[in-house]
Structure 1
Amino acid sequence: MTYPHQRLVARAHDRLGLHRRDQAWLDRRWDDPSSRVLVVSGTRVRPVEGTLPWVPADQAPDGVRVLLGERDGTTSWAVITGPEAAASQEGEWYPLRGLLPALVGQPDDAPLVFHALGLAEWHWATRFCPRCGHALVAVSAGHELNCPKDDGGCGRTQFPRTDPAVIMLVSHGEPGSPEERCLLGRSPQWPDARYSTLAGFCEPGESLEDTVRREVAEESGVRVGEVTYFGNQPWPLPQSLMLGFLARAESTDVVVQEDELVDARWFTREQLATEAGSGAIVLPGGVSISRSLIEHWYGDTLPGSW
């Protein structure tokens, strides 16, 4: 079975990492008429009629050139400009979350866009050296930021950051039985009726399985025992890697941590289908790993989504 979140990561591109410091090679690829560029203003992209606006390299504006990689003989790039570019041009510019509808229609481009916007977010947040405060300079085709020693910096290099986050479907009861239930929660920031799997970030020195147990206990008061890996999804909002797990509950009493959740509820499969079908609850979008976890446990597709 192909799960919903896998639609956006099905075709990885060759990132061509060995060529990032070869300026002559980079120049040749940039000048190749078949190369294409995604323009990113700050951390936003402007879809054109619902599609991603790749442009020829000779039509790209000035900015930081980022080599994304190659697929099917085509080299793809991103050019990261300042946020003022979006303000000076007509049309709506969207962060990654707003681009998801376009990516559903262009799933082959999704890994490239995740790559581009993940680096754009990092460039935006990492403009000065955390060691000495000097301005950083992009090198290695946009994949490293150097603190230039010949300009008074400390010479250290910064690399892109990815924060591991766990997301888990917690269940209780005899697997597959009508009485088996799953635990879903609702964040304080979400509109009424939106429910999803629980999630949280890994802390230093902590295993992923222990992160699952800790986060579920902190957010809902439920104690978790067995934890099984399910899959993962890049989620550069702004810089996460979502690691999905199936978790078995050893307790069922729910006591929500109100700064994390406003509600958490157990659902049987029948309750989940009925309430999702009626609109009483709204489940995550079809491209998220959260949706995949829920439908994997349910055993089929479910109606409705954010």
Structure 2
Amino acid sequence: MNYFSHTPLYRFSELRADEEHIDKLWRSEQVRVVVVSDTLSLLLEQEDRVEAAFLTKEQAAALEALAQVRVYLGSEGDIPYFALGFEGKQEELLGQLGGEFSLQDLRTVALELPKEQAALLSYARAIVHWNLRHQYCPDCGSVMHSAEAGHVRKCSGADCNRQHYPRTDTAVIVLISEGDACLLGRQATWPQGQYATIAGFLEPGETLEQAVAREAKEETGVELESIAYHSSQPWPFPSSIMVGFSAVASSRQLKVNHDEMDDARWFTRNEIAAGLKAGDFRLPPPVSIAYRLIRDWFNSEGEYGLEDLLPSAR
């Protein structure tokens, strides 16, 4: 599976509306709590590594009054997991918890964490972000309150009373190949030499495959003759699902849309290998589905795999 897909929790969505049961889980001795402050996740710093910080009942109790939102994430066996969400207050949080804790961006530390921990923190980050960014009803403007253990926002307006659910933005991402080469592009804001697969958001009225073909055409001018599903990845930065595909182009003719990207070009396996060895070519982060799409294409032929060139990549 792709990174951020390995959550060990069973979500028990059928129990979220039972407030008495959720409160009982919150008060249990086994409860474990993760903390999200703005876009940062709470981590526990060890001598030579970091890991997710799972606060005990006593540790979380000291923070509960400061939290803007509390979300029941699910349970692993008899252990219920919750997330507490905060806007700002980083210094206050760390002051109460002690020096062994830190707040960091999950994208920068995900590879240092066990995959299950990274997935759980990504889930917490996404649901907390949604709660904190949806304080007012989009229909009437009234204040909304958290309901169903943090998985619903309920409008307080007497004439509205609408319920709103977490939003997930669908994006397609595709490894396009033709013969012995694949098509990669880059944004101007990326590190020098970094290239990745073509991607974009699904539009209303489109199928996923139509979105893949449109993005390829709009960004690079390439026509696709076949499209196949590969895999998907939660991408909680802040709230997307990346739906991955592989595709075959009808030709290598390019017409790069520089309003969409800085550059796009065809790379053979040998060119990728040479660029990685020389240090003038960079792949997307190994936590991303973009990296896996490139890796799987690269490894489908040849005498060695991409990992042989990047021994630290997972």
Q: TM-score with structure 1 length normalisation?
A: 0.89
| Structure 2 residue corresponding to 1:113, chosen from 121, 124, 141 | 121
Structure 1 unaligned runs (5+)? 174-179
Aligned residues: 291
Matches within 5 A, 1:172-183: 172-173=178-179, 180-183=180-183
Contact 2:83 2:128 in 1 (8 A): no
Contact 1:295 1:301 in 2 (8 A): yes
Which range moves more in the overlay, 266-275 or 157-166?
Answer: 266-275
Contact 2:185 2:261 in 1 (8 A): yes
**Residue 145, structure 1, aligned to residue 143, structure 2:** no
SS of equivalent residue, structure 1 residue 120: helix
How far did 1:272 drift?
1.2
**Residue 217, structure 1, aligned to residue 225, structure 2:** no
1:39-86 alpha-carbon deviations (Å, 9 max, x no partner) = 112332232312211101332112221000112432111011232x21
Which residue identity lines up with residue 33 of structure 1 in the other structure?
A: E
Aligned to 1:96: 106
Which residue identity lines up with residue 18 of structure 1 in the other structure?
A: E
Aligned to 2:164: 158
Give the Cα–Cα distance (whole angstroms) in 1 for the partners of residues 19 and 134 of structure 2. 23
How far did 1:144 drift?
0.3
How far did 1:185 drift?
0.8
How far did 1:137 drift?
0.2
Matches within 5 A, 1:1-306: 6-49=2-45, 50-60=50-60, 61-62=63-64, 63=67, 64-83=69-88, 85-90=89-94, 93-102=103-112, 105-149=113-157, 152=158, 154-173=160-179, 180-299=180-299, 300-302=305-307, 303-304=309-310
Which residue identity lines up with residue 97 of structure 1 in the other structure?
A: R
SS of equivalent residue, structure 1 residue 51: strand
How far did 1:89 drift?
4.3
SS of equivalent residue, structure 1 residue 228: strand
Which residue identity lines up with residue 156 of structure 2 in the other structure?
A: P
Which range moves more in the overlay, 87-96 or 56-65?
Answer: 87-96
Contact 2:184 2:266 in 1 (8 A): yes
Q: TM-score with structure 2 length normalisation?
A: 0.87
Which residue identity lines up with residue 58 of structure 2 in the other structure?
A: D
SS of equivalent residue, structure 2 residue 271: helix
Are residues 258 and 143 of structure 1, via their aligned partners in 2, closer, same or farther at CA, if it must alter by over 3 Å? same
SS of equivalent residue, structure 1 residue 154: coil
Are residues 12 and 89 of structure 1, via their aligned partners in 2, closer, same or farther at CA, if it must alter by over 3 Å? closer
How far did 1:158 drift?
0.7
1:221-255 alpha-carbon deviations (Å, 9 max, x no partner) = 11112100000000011110000000110121222
Identity %: 36
Contact 2:188 2:261 in 1 (8 A): yes
Which range moves more in the overlay, 110-119 or 86-95?
Answer: 86-95
Which range moves more in the overlay, 90-99 or 286-295?
Answer: 90-99
Are residues 153 and 237 of structure 1, via their aligned partners in 2, closer, same or farther at CA, if it must alter by over 3 Å? farther
Give the Cα–Cα distance (whole angstroms) in 2 for the partners of residues 87 and 258 of structure 1. 42
Which residue identity lines up with residue 111 of structure 2 in the other structure?
A: P
Structure 2 unaligned runs (5+)? 95-100, 300-304
How far did 1:12 drift?
4.1
Contact 1:44 1:96 in 2 (8 A): yes
SS of equivalent residue, structure 2 residue 136: coil
